[in-house]
Amino acid sequence: MAIATYTLVALDCPEPEPLARFYQAVLGGEIRQYDEDWYDLYATGGARISFQRAPDHRPPKWPQAASDSQQLHLDFTVSDMEQAQQEVLAVGATPLDLDDRGGERGFRVYADPAGHPFCLCQEE
């Protein structure tokens, strides 16, 4: 028996509304604002991601193993890697790992506008 039920992933960021809109452009779904410091994205497919204002937010460093390294990352499955890459870059993603190995490994790494790493993973 489970101890708890999964609810959401919350991302700290300096500005929650633009980051929620970035992920809405990537995943689709509906944004709900609870107050000026908290937005939720109810993504297509049922996942919920929250965005919480953190005025002193510092983006993680990827792939460093220092004290300010990534604390989490999100994976998104895509059917067409090249098209998905063009689209996430167009809505504000920053490439973190676009070397030639990305296609061989089946994933590519990006940062969202607040600096959180996420991966596009090729559908198998």
Which of these ranges, 23-27, 37-41, 73-77, 108-112, has the smallest mean pLDDT? 73-77
* C-alpha to C-alpha distance for 3 and 105, rounded to whole angstroms: 35
What is residue 107's predicted lDDT score, i.e. its pLDDT?
Answer: 86
- What is the pTM assigned to this prediction? 0.79
Domains of the chain: 1-56 (3.10.180.10), 58-124 (3.10.180.10)
Is the per-residue pLDDT at 102 higher than 70?
no
In the predicted model, is pLDDT for residue 7 greater than 90? no
Q: What is the pLDDT of residue 25?
A: 97
3-state secondary structure of 44: coil
**pLDDT tens per residue, range 54-71:** 888 888 777 666 655 556
